[in-house]
Amino acid sequence: MTANDPTQPVPGTYLFDGNMAKKGYGLNKMCFSFNEQSARDEFNKDPDAYCAKFGLTEAQIKAIHERDIIGLLQQGGSIYYVAKFAGLLKLNMQDIGAIQTGMSLEEFKAMLVKRGSGEE
């Protein structure tokens, strides 16, 4: 949890700063490559080989395997690049919002509606 991380001042939020940018460089570089269809195809053919090409750490590879969005953020992933990995999995921002908050998609959407209307 971010609550225990003194470098992360906002609970539930992983500020993408210099520490994270350094830690997640290879991971983000791999996800940046997913702008290209050929890279997405290459990843899909052999995810492990593709991760190795970008020098991902074991923890990053594990989070990729498990589609663990929070894990990817903790390992230095930037949401904007992680979103490209999510896109490759055919998940949109609301899908990954639900995954990160441990809600069902419908629960997550209902929470947004409540907040959007000012009820919460």
Partner 1 sequence: MANIIGAVTTSHIPAIANAMANKAEETPYWKPFFDGYPPVRKWLNDKKPDVIVLFYNDHGLEFFIDKKPTFAIGVADEYHNSDEGWGIATIPPVTGESELSWHIANSLVEDGFDMTICQEMKVDHGLTVPLSLMWPGNEYGHVKVIPVCINCEQHPMPQPKRCYALGQAIGKAIESFDSDMTVAIFGTGGLSHQLDGEGAGTLNRKFDLECMDKLVESPEELTTYSNLDLVKIGGAQTVELNMWIAMRGVLRGKVTELHRNYHAPISNTGAGLLLLEHEMPN
Q: Does 50 bind partner 1 (CB under 8 A)?
A: no
Q: Does 87 bind partner 1 (CB under 8 A)?
A: yes
Phi, psi of 54 (to 5 degrees): -100, 10
Q: Which amino acid is at 9?
A: P
Which region, judged by CB under 8 A, interacts with partner 1, from 44-52, 53-61, 109-117?
109-117
Q: Does 10 bind partner 1 (CB under 8 A)?
A: yes
Name the nearest CA neighbour of 20 among 59, 70, 75.
75
Applying CB under 8 A, among 5, 35, 46, 65 the residue interacting with partner 1 is: 35
Binding mask 57-86 for partner 1 (x = CB under 8 A): ------------xx--x----xxxxxxx-x
Q: Report helix angle 79-88 to 25-33, nearest 10.
A: 50
Neighbours of 50 (CB within 10 A): 20
Residue with tokens 């992680």: 82
Which region, judged by CB under 8 A, interacts with partner 1, from 48-56, 60-68, 94-102?
94-102
Alpha-helical segments (H) within the chain: 18-23, 25-33, 37-45, 47-53, 58-65, 69-74, 79-88, 93-101, 105-116
Per CB under 8 A, residues contacting partner 1 are: 1-2, 9-18, 21, 25, 28-29, 31-32, 34-37, 40, 69-70, 73, 78-84, 86-88, 92-94, 96-97, 100-102, 108, 111-113, 115-118
